[in-house]
Amino acid sequence: MNRLILCALLCFCFLSLSAQNDLGSIGPTRVIAPNPEAAKLASYGKYDISYYTGKPDINIPLYTIQTSDLSLPVSLVYESTGLRTDDLASWAGTGWILNGVGSITRVVVGMPDDYSGGYLTQSIPYTGAISQDYYYAAAYTHTKDTEPDRYYFNFNGHSGEFTFDTSKNVFQIPLSGVRIRRAGADFEITDEEGIIYEFKTREMTAMMINSDVDYLPQSISTWWLTRITSADKSDGINFYYSQDPYEKEDKPNYSAAYGPKYTLGSTSSGASTISLTGNVLDYSSSVMNREYSPFRVDSITFNNGKLVFNRIKDRLDGGSSRLGSIDVYALANNVYQKRRSFNLLHSNFQYTGTYYNNLVLYSQYTGRYRLKLTGLEERKGDGTLNGTYNFEYDEAQQVGYRGTLQQDYWGFYNGATINDAKQTLIPTQNTPDYAYTVGGADREPNADYMKAGILKKIIYPTGGYTVFNWEPHKYLASGTTTVDHSSTCIAFGNNSSNDPHPTQTINLTIPVNDPSAKITVNISTYPHPSNPQYDNPDYQTMEENTRPNVSLTNASTGQVLYSNVNNNPQGSVNAITNISLPAGNYILTSNCYANSTNAYASIAVQWHTEEDVEVIKVAGGLRIADISSYDPDNKQLTKESYRYGANETGYGKLSIYPAYMNTLTYTKNFKFSYLSTLGVGCNYGVTSRTLYKSEPVATMSLASGSSVTYTVVTKYVGDPQTNAGKSIYYYRDIAELDIQRFPTGQTGEYMVTKYGWRRPVISKEENYKKVASGYQLVKSTENEYTELGTNIFPVIKLGFKYENVSLGCFGPGIDDYYAATYYIQTAKTQLTSSKVKDYDAGGTLFLETQKTFTYDSKYRSFPVDQTLVNSKGETKKTTTRYPFDKSTIVGLSTAKTIVLDTMVARNILAPPIQQDNYVNTNLVLRKTDTYKIWDAAKNVVKADTTYLQLLTNSREPRVVYDNYDAKGNILQQSKNYDAKEVYVWGYNYQYPVAKVLGSDYNTVISLLDTSIIQHPASDAQLRTELNKLRVAASMKNTQVSTYTYLPAVGMTSVTDPAGRTLYYEYDSMQRLRITRDQNGNIIQQTDYQYKTALTN
């Protein structure tokens, strides 16, 4: 009875906790892969979307490298959300990148960290200790460095940023479980599984201004991934590169300065002197040059095959080469055999319009072209075509040429030819005194031109296709609108003897200067008393003061700014006059000297004010509006539509608006230096001028890679009018970027502060179904997050307080510089709570569960406690302990503790060592895995025993792992009190070829010729050799299963313990085609139908 109770309890634990952990799979390690299944044709029309940025994940899988311990997917990824005019296409094509070849890229801040005088080669003094002129000057002239560079890694599913703190330690942003270390001049990153990634192929880049080679020394810009090594050092993937000829990318910059300036002159005695001019407008320009010779991957080799990347050097757009094809080879008996190929089909976007010679002087021949990926062929190993992807792009507008100035604030093409014509990128604006118009460029985004060259359609080998509909980002901005104001003063004549000359006055206030105010005057005809002297000019002049008149008077000064009078009783006055009115108080006066109520005198003033309003504006870059997929007969299969903003307003938040625009135009002090009278040292004059820039500091600083982000997005399964339902996604409203004047309160430059650990995460998700009355909530999920491990370190930034202008002398002193501190921060965002509510068909809540999570205080990637509370108030909790938690793991011997120390030292952090399951507060199940070092080199660290403890009983060994080979392959394992399972590995130790139940490894391996096992000439030879296990006397009471393989493809046969064999045949694309029984009969066949022309 007790045994039944324990079994029932164990089943309850497994069922109730399966959503939280994997305890239900307790048992021997599964070694043999399932029998082959028919491959699925590439599913189309299903693309993940980053709702936060509106960017779809468009990925064309090519091949996944799969070895015994390592996996690496290789694919083509479409990254574009609009074409920037200065971009050079990658070797895969405009907007496309080859994914799978990892790298670490560097953004140099100041000077390269690793150069003499660089951040990593010297001690950085505190701000207060920086007092020597030479240190300031050295920092400015790139011989000393106070700021660390920024490094960005991307490889095999891992991405992030790091830099170096004041102690020269790696500082990750955000925090993660990977370990990064410098390996000489290179880098090595170890992931949480202990897999090592080495980055040792260095690509150099030279950055210059106006081709000045002394601006910044050539430095390493990219470290390419050269090797992946498994945690046990037995398996690896190698990357080989070669270098292409040089490529260049240029970025033009335009600026202007307005205000007074000093000019150099001399006194009567010949001494130098300066004099301050009036306001002067000066223009300048420069080109930032980037030159490099790119490394291209030639091949990727692994234990059972290789990929070969073939280049073609026929590009027209200035690029060095294009990726022509990728060949997939399998390695069998030390011979490479081609299994398949992918051919990239290219043409070019070509600009045929007017080509302007700008600062960026790409030749007309190369500048007009951009490499275009038009298709991707899948070919069999023998070269026979199997299927083709075709790609179509939006070409309603021509793609702009490289170097064109027709670009918006973010660098996207906007078709504004006036920019090229005027040879400027400075936006049109007025000087503060309206004396000059600066710039003249149109930098506003244009949705039609922004779409030029964007991917709009993928046609699949099946004949089906997907259509992508894009639209521009939009954001809510603070703007102004012109508001018209007016005030009218009118007086009517009066025949009353008490008041024959009525007068009216109105006081008004104009709050701001208006250079374009307007006065409107209307004075009617009026009766005039008969007087024989009327025609006398002297009398006429005398009576003007008693005739109808109007005036505008400055109330503060009493000055009459405007007046008008009707001197002709038989005629009227109707006048409109423009006038400039400063802000102030005014008096309107109307006098109607007439004894008729039909007579009148009127004066009206119209003025304008600019008032703040919120306006929806278009930003640079595109977001996805909807994605529709169709079958080969043009029948729509799926459609998803996306509406952005709260209540589908359509707008999001510009990354760092409004400070972003402040960096285009701002004031700064200019210092003009000239030789002193004695000819030793410098004298100077300082004046403030307004700077106008063509590029805001924040142009390249985009939150999550997007100019606009969205905290609320609605997805319709269909479109907003016709759909099956919708989901609404809410993101945390976080600040990923900030921009401010630096140092604060001074007239230095602007700088961008990045909060790279603040990752966009979904705070709430609501799922609705469509009903007759609208939408009904089906499910909602609410998440809460916290920032863990917040860390910070100071960085000293040096710079000039002034724009320095030399008038024959340039020797800045310490007062010309600033030294100020800013901070680099990091943390890790982790989910702490997730509440799920489910609703029934009537919309009533019927189930509510809440999970909470806590994390290790040092290794914050790993949840140590997960708690589930259901609608009944029951609590189910799982506590997990990892190799770094040795002090809290129950029952560890000293030897086992040392093994855990070894695992932590090698960053093997992810394997759970102990998992405790509680119902309410009662421990019901504990699973513990102990580890052992299995080889003399101490590379193979694998589990040796799995223990289970039920309730308060003593723990018992459930599974024992008896032996591994030098490559970490399990050789022998068993359940407690059960027969041993033995595995034989072949094909150079890559695949399990035999499973024997009821013997031991030494007995099994002694019966076989290992040279045949490792390098079989054929499947038949291997099956014959493995059959020895079935006929040997020592194997009489065993169960033997055997397997053969086609390396890098799959299993080709399996023979069960009864001696029945199934055979698997593959087509030339390495997909399962036919399954036969031991008699050769077909028991399953799969035809992969691609769209082909109909034939008789």
Token couple for 566:
């009707």
Q: What do you get for the CA distance between the two ends of the chain, in Å?
A: 72
Q: Is 648 helix (H, G, I), strand (E, B) or coil?
A: helix
Token couple for 399:
């793609």
- For the chain, helix, strand, coil in percent to 5 are 10, 50, 40
CATH of residue 580: 2.60.120
If you ran DSSP here, which 8-state letter would residue 558 be given?
Answer: -
Per-residue pLDDT tens for 795-849? 888 777 778 787 777 666 667 777 778 889 999 999 999 999 999 988 899 899 9
Whether 400 and 369 have beta carbons less than 8 Å apart is answered as no
Token couple for 206:
């030279």
Residue 35: left if φ>0, alpha if ψ -120 to 50, beta else—which one?
A: beta
Can you spell out the DSSP letters for 62-86?
Answer: EEEEE-SS-EEEEEEEE--SS-BTT
Q: State whether the Cα torsion 506-511-513-514 is positive or negative.
A: negative
Task: Please indicate, yes or no, if residue 523 is contained in any of the structural domains.
Answer: yes
Q: Residue range 508-514: average pLDDT?
A: 93
Q: Could you tell me which residue, 307 or 267, shows the higher pLDDT?
A: 307
Q: Residue range 1000-1029: average pLDDT?
A: 95
- Residues 811, 179: Cα–Cα separation, whole Å: 46
Q: Residue range 881-885: average pLDDT?
A: 95
Task: Please indicate, yes or no, if residue 595 is contained in any of the structural domains.
Answer: yes
Whether 51 and 731 have beta carbons less than 8 Å apart is answered as yes
pLDDT band at 640 (very low <50, low <70, confident <90, very high): very high
Q: Residue range 1068-1095: average pLDDT?
A: 75
Task: Please indicate, yes or no, if residue 593 is contained in any of the structural domains.
Answer: yes
Asked if residue 680 has pLDDT above 70, the reply is no
| 126-140, 204-218, 463-477, 1023-1037, range with the lowest pLDDT | 126-140
- Residues 760, 776: Cα–Cα separation, whole Å: 27
pLDDT band at 191 (very low <50, low <70, confident <90, very high): very high
Q: Residue range 1006-1022: average pLDDT?
A: 95
If you ran DSSP here, which 8-state letter would residue 33 be given?
Answer: P
| 21-25, 357-361, 1062-1066, range with the lowest pLDDT | 21-25
- Please state the separation of Cα 241 from the chain's center in Å: 27
Per-residue pLDDT tens for 310-350? 999 999 999 999 999 999 999 888 889 999 999 999 999 99
pLDDT for residue 740: 67
Token couple for 763:
């705070």
For β-strands 914-919 and 875-881, DSSP reports them as antiparallel
Q: Is 40 helix (H, G, I), strand (E, B) or coil?
A: coil
Whether 908 and 883 have beta carbons less than 8 Å apart is answered as yes
Closest C-alpha to 206, from 250, 162, 145, 153: 250
pLDDT for residue 314: 95
Average pLDDT, the chain: 87
E strand segments, 873-987: 875-881, 914-919, 922-933, 941-950, 956-964, 970-975, 980-986
pLDDT band at 15 (very low <50, low <70, confident <90, very high): very low
Annotate 522-556 with b (16+ C-beta within 10 A) or e (fewer).
bbbbbebeeeeeeeeeeeeeeeeeebbbbbbbeee
| 24-28, 289-293, 332-336, 724-728, range with the lowest pLDDT | 24-28
| 300-304, 474-478, 497-501, 713-717, range with the lowest pLDDT | 497-501
pLDDT for residue 249: 84
Task: Please indicate, yes or no, if residue 134 is contained in any of the structural domains.
Answer: no
* Residue that the structure tokens 């043409």 belong to: 347
Residue 560, domain extent: 480-529+544-613
pLDDT band at 295 (very low <50, low <70, confident <90, very high): very high
Whether 189 and 179 have beta carbons less than 8 Å apart is answered as yes
Last residue within a domain, chosen from 613, 648, 670:
613
| 206-220, 255-269, 303-317, 837-851, range with the lowest pLDDT | 206-220
Can you spell out the DSSP letters for 339-383?
Answer: EEEEEEEEEEEE--S-----SS---HHHHTEEEEEEEEEEEETTS
Q: Residue range 524-532: average pLDDT?
A: 69
Asked if residue 1094 has pLDDT above 70, the reply is no
Q: Could you tell me which residue, 527 or 464, shows the higher pLDDT?
A: 464
Share of the chain above pLDDT 70, in %: 87
905 membership: H or E segment, kind and range: helix 894-905
Task: Please indicate, yes or no, if residue 43 is contained in any of the structural domains.
Answer: no
- Exposed/middle/buried for residue 823 (C-beta within 10 Å: 0-12, 13-18, 19+): exposed
pLDDT for residue 243: 95
- Residues 1031, 1044: Cα–Cα separation, whole Å: 19
pLDDT for residue 801: 78
Task: Please indicate, yes or no, if residue 949 is contained in any of the structural domains.
Answer: no
Token couple for 129:
């200790």
Asked if residue 7 has pLDDT above 50, the reply is no
Token couple for 972:
């022998």
Asked if residue 707 has pLDDT above 60, the reply is yes
Instruction: Count CB-CB contacts under 10 A for residue 754.
Output: 16
Whether 113 and 63 have beta carbons less than 8 Å apart is answered as no
pLDDT for residue 664: 74
CA torsion angle 215 217 222 227 (round to 10): 180
Whether 140 and 111 have beta carbons less than 8 Å apart is answered as no
pLDDT for residue 598: 86
Token couple for 690:
């307004």
| 165-179, 671-685, 863-877, 888-902, range with the lowest pLDDT | 671-685
Whether 718 and 769 have beta carbons less than 8 Å apart is answered as no
Closest C-alpha to 604, from 584, 567, 574: 574
Query: How many structural domains compose the chain?
Result: 2
- Residues 1010, 993: Cα–Cα separation, whole Å: 12
Q: Which residues contact 88 (CB under 8 A, 6 or more apart)?
A: 247, 249, 317, 318, 319, 402
Phi/psi of residue 592, nearest 5 degrees: -120, 90
pLDDT for residue 282: 93
Per-residue pLDDT tens for 715-742? 999 999 999 999 999 999 877 767 666 6
Asked if residue 134 has pLDDT above 60, the reply is no
For β-strands 803-807 and 665-675, DSSP reports them as parallel
Whether 984 and 1008 have beta carbons less than 8 Å apart is answered as yes
Whether 135 and 124 have beta carbons less than 8 Å apart is answered as no
Instruction: Count CB-CB contacts under 10 A for residue 845.
Output: 12
Q: Could you tell me which residue, 133 or 438, shows the higher pLDDT?
A: 438
Asked if residue 378 has pLDDT above 90, the reply is yes
- Residues 585, 553: Cα–Cα separation, whole Å: 9
For β-strands 455-459 and 437-438, DSSP reports them as unpaired
Q: How far is CA 899 from CA 609, 930, 937, in A?
A: 76, 9, 14
Residue 210: left if φ>0, alpha if ψ -120 to 50, beta else—which one?
A: left
pLDDT for residue 670: 85
pLDDT for residue 496: 54
Q: State whether the Cα torsion 887-788-822-288 is positive or negative.
A: positive
Highest-confidence range of 286-290, 310-314, 592-596, 872-876, by mean pLDDT?
A: 310-314
Whether 258 and 696 have beta carbons less than 8 Å apart is answered as no
Predicted TM-score of the model (pTM): 0.87
- Residues 104, 102: Cα–Cα separation, whole Å: 7
pLDDT for residue 1011: 94
pLDDT for residue 178: 96
Q: Residue range 1064-1082: average pLDDT?
A: 86
pLDDT for residue 786: 93
Q: How far is CA 725 from CA 731, 768, 769, in A?
A: 20, 5, 4
Asked if residue 305 has pLDDT above 90, the reply is yes
Task: Please indicate, yes or no, if residue 983 is contained in any of the structural domains.
Answer: yes
pLDDT for residue 32: 77
Q: Is 779 helix (H, G, I), strand (E, B) or coil?
A: strand
Asked if residue 231 has pLDDT above 90, the reply is yes
Q: Could you tell me which residue, 1088 or 610, shows the higher pLDDT?
A: 610
pLDDT band at 289 (very low <50, low <70, confident <90, very high): confident
Asked if residue 1093 has pLDDT above 50, the reply is no
If you ran DSSP here, which 8-state letter would residue 989 be given?
Answer: T
Cis ω before 696 (30° cut-off from 0): no
Length of the chain in terms of residues written: 1096
Q: Residue range 753-767: average pLDDT?
A: 86
Phi/psi of residue 860, nearest 5 degrees: -80, 0
Closest C-alpha to 1023, from 982, 977, 1063, 1065: 1063
Q: Residue range 940-949: average pLDDT?
A: 95
Last residue within a domain, chosen from 613, 636, 654:
613
Phi/psi of residue 528, nearest 5 degrees: -130, 135
Last residue within a domain, chosen from 613, 628, 657:
613
833 membership: H or E segment, kind and range: strand 817-839
Q: Residue range 72-101: average pLDDT?
A: 94
- Residues 962, 744: Cα–Cα separation, whole Å: 66
Whether 158 and 164 have beta carbons less than 8 Å apart is answered as no
Task: Please indicate, yes or no, if residue 1011 is contained in any of the structural domains.
Answer: yes
